[in-house]
Amino acid sequence: MTAAAETPKLALPKFAFNVRDLTASIVVFLVAMPLCMGIAIASGVSPEKGLITGIIGGIVVGALAGSPLQVSGPAAGLAVIVFELVRDQGLSALGPILMLAGLVQVLAGVFRLGGWFRAISPAVVHGMLAGIGVLIVIGQFHVMFDSKPLPSGLENLAAMPGRLLGLSPSIAAAEIALALGLTTIAVMLGWEKWRPAALRLVPGALMGVVASTLLAFLLGLDVTRVSVPENIAAAISLPDAGTFALLLNPSIIGAAFAIAFIASAETLLSAAAVDRMHDGARTNYNKELRAQGIGNLLCGAAGALPMTGVIVRSSANVQAGAQTRLSAILHGVWILGFVALLPWLLREIPMAALGAVLVVTGARLVNFSHARHLLRDYGALPAMIWAVTLVLVVAEDLLTGVLVGIGLSLLELLPHFRRLRLRVEEREDDERRTIALSGAATFVALPRLSAKLDALPSKAPVLLDLSRCSAIDHTCTELLKDWLQRRRAGGGKVEIFGSSGKMAALAGV
């Protein structure tokens, strides 16, 4: 009798969790569809390439990921570098580049290098994302006029006034496309602001694209529409003998390492952000790197776009109530089913509508509040690193901006050059665990510090002793803030002991 009474108690939570994963997967699918196609267009390739990456990111990487609630797929952060690669090397070079980049990621995970990607200065990462956002906005601005982006960011920027001044009172293709793009943006933003509570999980991007597609269809508007094949398998480009010969090209090797580096950094920073949104299993960063590497190997073999963990889809997943990795896997299944059964519906979507979605997405990457936060809390140097990274990404290229930003972040080590070593001591007594830091807490020591903090038992009281810590840079400060916030949100008790300045840096958590 007892066993019979207990059986439904054990089965009910599992059933409830599966239902929540099912509903969350549908929400993520609706968010992902326009973004997968829009990012492909921004990357200079056909929309189905982005859909294939979304399918692999959902089904394969979702099953293997070290961050169960993170969603993987094509990322706006890589659109710019892929556009430049396709322009300079040709579409045929993208496959071998991604296969090599995927292999680099797998090896980085095997050799447990995941923690080092988290050591990249937040100023560099946010400056990179802001620069990418600017490039997406000024590139997709031209798509909203039914035109193609120009080869460089500066050329796109210089051509923007001409697009607006070239508009005429007579209704032509450019004016119609712009009207559809503006309609998409208006519906997207309006829905996000005034949507009914019962429909709060329906994404604004979807509503904007649907509205413009219906307008174009009902009015029979003559604008450029999305082009996808009848059979998604026709979009897969398997490697041949010539593909592997390209791997001997030094520029191909350099591009592969650049994509591996940027994709890994974006993935692991997104995973850290997802961890702050829920109380479930924490990310295994090395396992996540291996999963992303396998995903990019497959994307390269299929001739698709590179993938990363993506924060927009991941946050939608968490907010929709996902409990396990099943939601990410199912969202890939829904994309596959949609493109296999309803390709004719995708071909009704105006290109200008997808360009408009990317304009909003890009604008949201330009986070000036983060720059103000850096200047206010950490001084002029981190804010300068953010600005220089942004400008160089726009004016030169993505890799130059990131490398210069990382180079400038090394200047933060100069005041602590003679005492760079950080000792992390752990002591345990009957009442609590004590973590004592001795030396300078800089980004150089971040992987070891992060591993020690994450290994602490979740409910054990902790004393963080900073009395012998000579300095804490902004990268380690952000890490400690995130850790404190997450631990206290989970019910753990943390006390901080040290100088008033260091304690003030962690105040408010």
Is residue 365 within 8 Å of 80, Cβ to Cβ?
Answer: no
At residue 2, does pLDDT exceed 60?
no
At residue 152, does pLDDT exceed 70?
yes
Q: Bin 87: left if φ > 0, else alpha if -120 < ψ < 50, else beta.
A: alpha
At residue 264, does pLDDT exceed 80?
yes
Judge whether 483 lies within some domain.
yes
At residue 301, does pLDDT exceed 80?
yes
Name the more confident of 509 and 432: 432
Distances (CA, A) of 47 to 53, 281, 296, 299, 398: 10, 34, 18, 14, 23
What would the mean pLDDT of 275-290 be, rounded to a whole number? 85
At residue 244, does pLDDT exceed 80?
no
Would you state the pLDDT for residue 397? 80
Q: Are residues 257 and 351 in the same domain?
A: yes
One-letter amino acid for residue 80 of the chain: V
**How many Cβ atoms from other residues are within 10 Å of residue 451's Cβ?**
13
What would the mean pLDDT of 235-244 be, rounded to a whole number? 78
Q: For the chain, what is the mean pLDDT?
A: 86
- 198 DSSP assignment: G
At residue 430, does pLDDT exceed 80?
no
Total tally of structural domains belonging to the chain: 3
Name the more confident of 492 and 211: 211
At residue 28, does pLDDT exceed 70?
yes
Dihedral pair phi/psi, residue 347, rounded to 5°: -75, -5
Q: Are residues 247 and 100 in the same domain?
A: yes
What would the mean pLDDT of 461-474 be, rounded to a whole number? 88
Distances (CA, A) of 113 to 16, 117, 341, 422, 492: 37, 7, 41, 19, 28
Q: Are residues 324 and 429 in the same domain?
A: no
Q: Are residues 251 and 181 in the same domain?
A: yes
Q: Give residue-wise pLDDT tens across range 128-143.
A: 888 888 988 998 899 8
Would you state the pLDDT for residue 148? 84
Is residue 53 within 8 Å of 287, Cβ to Cβ?
Answer: no
What would the mean pLDDT of 142-157 be, rounded to a whole number? 86
Q: Which residues span the domain enclosing 442? A: 420-505
Q: Are residues 227 and 372 in the same domain?
A: no
Q: Are residues 494 and 351 in the same domain?
A: no
Judge whether 8 lies within some domain.
no
The CA distance from 271 to 278, in Å, is 11
What would the mean pLDDT of 371-389 be, rounded to a whole number? 92
Would you state the pLDDT for residue 250? 86
Would you state the pLDDT for residue 171? 63
Q: Give residue-wise pLDDT tens across range 200-235.
A: 888 888 899 999 999 999 999 989 998 888 888 888
Q: Are residues 103 and 63 in the same domain?
A: yes
Judge whether 362 lies within some domain.
no
- Where does a domain end: 416, 438, 454? 416
In 144-237, alpha helices (H):
153-165, 173-194, 204-218
The first and second tokens of residue 350, run together, are: 């105006």
| Bridge pairing between strands 462-472 and 433-441 | parallel
